[in-house]
Amino acid sequence: MSVDTDRSFGVLHVSTDDVAGGAGRCAYFVHGRLRQFGVDSRMLVGRKQSDDPFVRPLSEIENPRAGIVTKARRFAGRRVRRLRSSAQRAGTEPFSDGRSQRDIQWTGIQARFGCSLVHLHRVEGMLDYGRFFRNLPSDLPIAWTLHDMNAFTGGCPYDFGCGRYRDRCGACPQIDSSTEEDASRRTWSRKRRLFARMDPDRLHLVAPSGWMAHQARHSSLFGERFRVSVIPNGVDTDAFAPRDTAGARSILGIPVDARVILFVSPSLANRRKGGAPLLEALGRVRLQLPDAQLLTLGKGNLGKSDLPHTPIGYTSDQRLLSVVYSAADVLVVPSLQDNLPTTVIEAMACGVPTVGFDVGGVPEMVRPGHTGALAPAGDAEALAEEILELLATPTRATRMGPECRADAVRRFSLDLQARRYSDLYAELLDFSASRSRAAEYRSGRALDRPPRRARS
């Protein structure tokens, strides 16, 4: 698949990370594939871990006076750090108030990158929303991929079903607040003022899942004001491909005849990722399948499992990841709320079916009976039953493997994702150019130009 290189433009991806974390990796892989297609793609990141020369760290263009902040902002920063610590102790993702002591000057970005369009990814803690959006040129198109809900909430990446982002936030359960005018309400109010001033035609939201698009459209901050497109995440289906199961298990030190259950999460202790119901389900599985084993990939501690457990730790190496997936009989995704977890797509590309809860974007990937199975949200007993049904009939899981692989290649390839983004960029730039021309004619500036020479 190729991109129309006649449509020349430069896109700058802004992300907290390049190759770390699910959102960072998604941004980086799209950037890399766009460059392969001839698109002038660059990245600006808060933390650079790759050796890609087209990825630059924020520190290179920060305002040298960024460290000089007001007392109020310094106090606010301490308050947010306390809230983040509280969230981490509670096993949830960090709270963010949309502010940062780091200062990005648009003149520095333009001098360094010369982009025609900005594509935001996860930027919490990296960008100060107010300063960043106010300093951008009014005619610069912005695409913003919603890797989580933070952009339209009062600070949480996921709301755990509280639904307060549909009103004005406040009394936030994730920061253990019973006060309406709390940090979440103040953050929501600042975002409200910012987005209310923004031209709705210059900001285009992208949701990896239909579920996330629905949440954004029904939020009080975005509502129907901004356009939302759905572009699913993609993976490199050459890097993620089925490998020999026996060989993969030998590499990882897992018995060849074991029934292997894989759980993947950047943080195994993240409550949203469903470690508690998973452990309960595994206790039930152990009673009926003594040869079942747990394989985990991620940082932190899941907790005590009733199954023999092989922890791999965290890695971003795609080849090693494909080995880990290929060693499994089934991937379990017990998330209590999730967008479009790339782990499911990676497993599918390796020919591994998924059992998960019927939440968020998971049912947009898993087709029950074909590429896996779904259980009601939070129902550990039903989750165990679905895992057992797959593992107790190995031929069923084996039959699903080719369908998983075919679905991943057809629906979630990185090439397809990059093509969709390239088409969106071209649409946004064409629309921006047409508006600029219309504005020139309305102002009379276009009349001062010499007439175009007629083509012979």
What does the DSSP assignment read for 175-220?
GT---TTSHHHHHHHHHHHHHHHS-TTTEEEEESSHHHHHHHHTST
- The per-residue pLDDT for range 160-211, each reduced to its tens digit, is 999 999 999 999 998 889 999 999 999 999 999 999 999 999 999 999 999 9
**CATH tag for 10-234+414-448 (out of 2.130.10.30, 3.40.50.2000, 3.30.70.3170, 2.60.420.10):** 3.40.50.2000
**pLDDT tens for each residue of 3-38:** 444 445 799 999 999 998 889 999 999 999 999 999
Comparing CA positions, the residue from 130, 143, 104, 139 lying closest to residue 12 is: 143
Residue ranges of domains in the chain: 10-234+414-448, 245-411
Give dist(CA 127, CA 133) in Å, integer.
9
Radius of gyration, alpha carbons of the chain: 23
Please report how many Cα atoms fall inside a 13 Å half-sphere around the Cα of residue 102, on the Cβ side. 18
Q: Is 65 exposed, middle or buried (0-12, 13-18, 19+ CB in 10 A)?
A: exposed
Average predicted confidence (pLDDT) for the chain? 88
Fold equal for 10-234+414-448 and 245-411: yes
Continuous segment of H or E residues that includes residue 229: strand 227-230
Q: Burial level of 435, CB count in 10 A (0-12/13-18/19+)?
A: middle
- Residues 395-435 have pLDDT tens digits of 888 899 999 999 999 999 999 999 999 999 999 998 777 66
The mean-pLDDT minimum among 111-125, 226-240, 437-451 falls in 437-451
Residue 295: the pLDDT is: 97
Q: Give the dihedral sign, CA 246/363/166/141.
A: positive
179 neighbors 202 (Cβ within 8 angstroms) = no
What confidence tens digit (pLDDT) does each residue in 130-151 have? 888 888 888 899 999 999 999 9
Considering the segment(s) 245-411 as one domain, its CATH architecture is 3-Layer(aba) Sandwich (3.40)
**Percent of the chain beyond pLDDT 70?**
86
Structure confidence at residue 136 (pLDDT): 86
- The helices-and-strands tally (H runs, E runs) of the chain is 13, 13
* Full-model pTM: 0.90
Beta-bridge mates of residue 294: 261, 309
Nearest to 361 by CA among 212, 153, 152: 212
Q: Which of 362, 396, 391 is nearest to 376 (CA)?
A: 362
Q: In what order do the strands lie in the sheet with 309-311?
A: 309-311, 292-299, 259-267, 330-333, 354-357, 372-375
Separation CA 407–CA 385 (nearest Å): 24
Q: What is the DSSP string of 25-47?
A: HHHHHHHHHHHHTT-EEEEEEEE
pLDDT-derived band of residue 2, with 50, 70 and 90 as boundaries? very low
End-to-end CA distance of the chain: 36
CB 425 within 8 A of CB 117: yes
The CA angle 10-15-16, to the nearest 5 degrees, is: 155
Q: What CA–CA distance (Å, rounded) separates 222 from 215? A: 9
Q: Characterize the bridge pairing of strands 354-357 and 330-333.
A: parallel
pLDDT at 285 (0 to 100): 96
